[in-house]
A = this chain, B = another copy of it.
């Protein structure tokens, strides 16, 4: 048993060392003080805590702990596949295939049972077929809009994203999981439109 646990620890440490690379992946989303863009590790931490606190706003009952676990590991595939900007059609064309290969390699570093558990969480998140996955995805979309709004434009300005794009893209992704969160985020987007946070058309 002890030998077995020693061997498991080595596999876990190999995965844990890979995780450090999440601190080097820069997202398009700014910090709220607009001082720089956030990393994947920072984003994953922020939305995991958000999920715990906001689970009561989901339209369907959700398992907040499962949602939190999904969000902690949902971007790990970007260690191999890189971060693809959500409004980038070209980059998103082969994203799924790149991320599947990344999931195979990265979760495959873990002991088999933990690899299967992590992969199941990631697959469930990607498939969006459960209330937990849809709510997790809505929090993953809510946070960048909140940060852009509080930073005065952020990735909308930097990437010439129009408010109509943000509204139409996120209506089902956020509003389909929580009408309350979508109502609140629409208020923020309209305030951002009114004060000129978006680029000229």
Q: How far is the CA of A42 from the CA of B72 in the complex (A)?
A: 11
Interface bin, chain A: 35 or more
> A67 to chain B: closest CB distance in Å?
12
Q: How far is the CA of A5 from the CA of B54 in the complex (A)?
A: 10
Not counting A19-B46, A20-B46, A20-B147, a sample of 11 additional A-B residue pairs whose C-beta atoms are within 8 angstroms of each other reads A16-B46, A17-B146, A17-B150, A20-B31, A21-B33, A22-B45, A24-B31, A39-B39, A41-B42, A45-B48, A49-B73
The chain A residues found within 8 Å of chain B, CB to CB, are 2, 5-6, 8-9, 12-13, 15-17, 19-24, 31-33, 35, 38-39, 41-42, 44-46, 48-50, 52-54, 56-57, 65, 68-69, 72-73, 110, 114, 146-147, 150, 180-181, 184
